[in-house]
Every structure is written in C-alpha cells, then in structure tokens.
Amino acid sequence: MTVTCTKVQDYRALLRAHEARDRAIMVANLDRVTFWSCTHTLVLLGVGALQVYMIRSMFEDNSKLGRLIRSGKTGY
C-alpha cells in the first residue's frame, strides 16, 4: 500500500511540474502575442494618420507636400 501511495504522489508531483512548465510557456506566449499585436496596431494607426495627412495636403493650395504630389516630380 505504501509503495502505491508513493507512486501516486510521485506521479502527481510530475503532473504538477508539467502543469507549471506549460503555464509558464503559455504566459510567455501571451506576452509575446500581446506585444506584437500592440506594435502592429500602433503601426497601422500611424500609417492611417500619415495617409490622411497626405490626402488632405493634396487638396490644400499652400501645402509643399501637396504641390510636390500634384506636380509629379519626385526629385530624382
């Protein structure tokens, strides 16, 4: 009976160790996914703001960027 209890305790300790390792991996993956999701969101918002700025400057007469875009000259 004691040998069986010891085996069960050892098996449960092994399962707890696996669970702790898996939880640590899961938390690390969650942190990584959250970081890259926030990074992509910020880049997307920045590009959207830049596009709005460029489109608006195309319709303003006194904008240097608008004149450059309307003239078609790239400066090469």
* pLDDT grade for 58, boundaries at 50, 70 and 90: confident
Residue with more model confidence, 1 or 75 = 1
Identify the pLDDT of residue 75: 56
* pLDDT grade for 76, boundaries at 50, 70 and 90: low
pTM of the entire predicted model: 0.63
66 Cβ partners below 8 Å, 6+ apart?
57, 58, 59, 60
54 Cβ partners below 8 Å, 6+ apart?
65, 69
